[in-house]
Amino acid sequence: GIIMFEHVDAYAGDPIFSLVEQFMKDPREDKVNLTIGFYFDEDGKVPNFSSVDKAKVWAADNPPASPVYLPMDGLPDYRVAVKSLAFGDALPLVDSRLASTQSLGGSGALKVGADLLKRYFPDSELWVSDPTWENHHSIFKGAGVKVNTYRYYNPQTKMLDFSGMLEDLNQLPEKAIVLLHPCCHNPTGIDLTNEQWQQVVDVVKQRNLLAFFDMAYQGFGFGLNEDTQAIKLMAESGQPFLLAQSFSKIFSLYSERVGALYVVCESPETAETIQGQLKFTVRTNYSTPPSSGARLVNHVLASDALTDEWKTELEVMRERMHTMRQQLVTKLGELRPDVDFSYLAAQVGMFSYTGFSPEQIKRLKDEFGVYLIASGRMCVAGLNTRNIEATAKAFAAVC
């Protein structure tokens, strides 16, 4: 017979998506999904923003004048609208030396950025926090970039190892690429203070490193502008850097794949060159981006009324996740006064790092139907008033 694909290895599965599939198949009615980064509301549903729903009505009534391809770097109005959001107050500091492209969500931005960097910085390696989102490793490896880690999480204290992080960054060679989470660190929920960010920015500048920010949860931390503080400090430093932006979570537009990649260059001239190379990178990946998600985001951001409505809805999400995290900590404190859970209360955003071992995570799943990522990450948005008691009891039972 014909032999063709026989040498191909089976895909081991994705640590996040495969677990979701497993959860869906679990017949237990009281199972709790704390796995993937979806924002679930109090009813356990992934909601649509009413502001985005209004944009969808508008979009249905106003189809594009002509159904042709978008430009390689995306919808021009969209690119203008989203950069104000991404850079906040810092936009005037970078606007004249900024190249940008619409992207297929945050992951697409990372891939285009990784391809661009591999082409023009072939000897640069990437450093990511230990731990980081699993797909950071895969995307950059897929682009041919060697991936290393810098210290971030201290398993003993369950807190940030900031001196370790600084020490590691201080060892990096010039033009090393450093992946940073400007807010709502995935998976740990442990963020840097503004003072710590300033120190990181100083090291990046002194050593002439290339920071690559991945911002998928803007507004889930302390607020839309508050969550851009790290970006603002980097912008003030004058040091070139990259930024990936995602609208999956913060517009609840997961399947539309809508995001952006920014390259802050050293001068307007280099920004123009990089703009061209971004187009080329897109063209050689998937040619041009889809339009529908970008039209929705642009429509919301172009209207003051819809933007206000969206911001209010985003605030409700942020507050709900914050409340759930605090309630969980309170309940755990009642159930297990002998264990210190204060580290959980200090974490921010959509995720918390429980510090549970793989054995504890397995027990939570097998005995209690409570699903967390194997690393010990919990999606806080999966908690609601109906499942929080049972989740706290399950946590208390395994520790």
Binding site for ligand LMR (CB under 6 A): 16, 36-37, 133, 135, 186
Q: What is the DSSP letter of 396?
A: H
Q: Supply 52's token pair.
A: 């985005």
Q: Which is nearer to ligand LMR, 127 or 351 (CB)?
A: 351
Count other Cβ atoms within 10 Å, centred on residue 292. 14
Q: Which is nearer to ligand LMR, 36 or 265 (CB)?
A: 36
Cβ-contact 198, 233 below 8 angstroms: yes
Cα–Cα distance for residue pair 213/200, rounded to 1 Å: 12
CB of 212 to ligand LMR, least distance (A): 16
Q: Which is nearer to ligand LMR, 260 or 274 (CB)?
A: 260
- Phi, psi of 196, rounded to the nearest 5 degrees: -65, -40
Q: Which is nearer to ligand LMR, 137 or 393 (CB)?
A: 137
End-to-end Cα distance, the chain: 55
**Cβ-closest position to ligand LMR:** 37
Cβ-contact 376, 361 below 8 angstroms: yes
Q: Which is nearer to ligand LMR, 133 or 247 (CB)?
A: 133
How far CA 327 is from CA of 94, 166, 340, 376, in Å, comes to 41, 33, 15, 19
CB of 156 to ligand LMR, least distance (A): 25
Please give the biggest Cα pair distance in the chain. 66
Q: Which is nearer to ligand LMR, 124 or 245 (CB)?
A: 245
- Phi, psi of 157, rounded to the nearest 5 degrees: -90, -15
Cα–Cα distance for residue pair 385/47, rounded to 1 Å: 17
Write 301-310 long-range contacts (CB < 8 A, 24+): 301/81, 301/82, 301/84, 301/85, 302/77, 302/81, 306/51, 306/54, 306/55, 307/51, 309/49, 309/50, 309/51, 309/54, 310/49, 310/51, 310/52, 310/251
CB of 187 to ligand LMR, least distance (A): 7
Which residues are known to be catalytic? 133, 214, 249
CB of 244 to ligand LMR, least distance (A): 12
Q: Supply 209's token pair.
A: 């490193």
